[in-house]
Amino acid sequence: MTDAESITRDVHEYGDILYRICLLMLKNHADAEDAVQETFIKYIQKEPVFTSSEHKKAWLITVSANKCRDMLRKRGRTEDESEEILKNIAVNENEDCSGILEALFELPEKFRIVMTLHYVEGYKVEEIAKIIGKSSSAVKMRLQKGRTLLRDIYKKEFMV
């Protein structure tokens, strides 16, 4: 397989997950696309060697999350498109999950990324710890606090 074919395959395989994570972090469609694009540019430039597909996926998620943090620091946290984000995230049409998604958007970033990786993408605590560079106990605490915050936000705003 040529390099171009390999890169194309990786973009198709990992692009959606990276986009969803960036969208949840940045709350802005255009910025999320930019972050994913920058992630793949770095991937092409660095040409990292991976031991497995999970290692590659974790590296891409880490790079994209770091890029999102950089973008947030540069712009501040003033720009978001919460309504547009809700329309762009694929949700099972038989379920009404918009309230949960809106509540998830309101979580602070450190809880939002951990909750997304665990509950949406299915990562285990140890894997998340490696991705975000924190201890397993820190990830567990963020998951616990994130669940509490999510429940409180959801009850306050959507269970009127």
As a whole number of angstroms, the distance between CA 160 and CA 117 comes to: 29
- 54 token code pair: 């999970």
Q: What is the pLDDT along the chain (160 residues), one digit of tens a residue?
A: 448 888 899 999 999 999 988 888 888 889 999 999 999 999 999 888 899 888 899 899 989 988 988 888 887 644 455 545 554 554 444 445 556 777 787 888 889 889 888 887 888 999 888 888 889 999 999 999 999 998 888 888 766 5
pLDDT confidence of residue 81? 52
As a whole number of angstroms, the distance between CA 122 and CA 106 comes to: 21
Domains of the chain: 1-90 (1.10.1740), 94-160 (1.10.10.10)
pLDDT confidence of residue 47? 87
66-74, long-range: CB < 8 A, 24+ apart: 67/22, 67/35, 67/38, 67/39, 67/42, 68/21, 68/22, 68/25, 68/26, 68/31, 68/32, 68/35, 69/25, 69/109, 71/26, 71/31, 71/34, 71/35, 72/25, 72/26, 72/109
As a whole number of angstroms, the distance between CA 102 and CA 154 comes to: 8
- Interaxial angle between packed helices 3-26 and 53-75, expressed in degrees from 0 to 180 and rounded to the nearest 10: 50
Helix (H) or strand (E) holding 46, with range, is helix 29-46
pLDDT confidence of residue 92? 45
* Beta-sheet strands, E only, within 21-114: none
Cβ-Cβ contacts under 8 Å for 137 (sequence gap 6 or more):
none
Put simply, whether the predicted model's pTM sits higher than 0.85 gets the answer: no
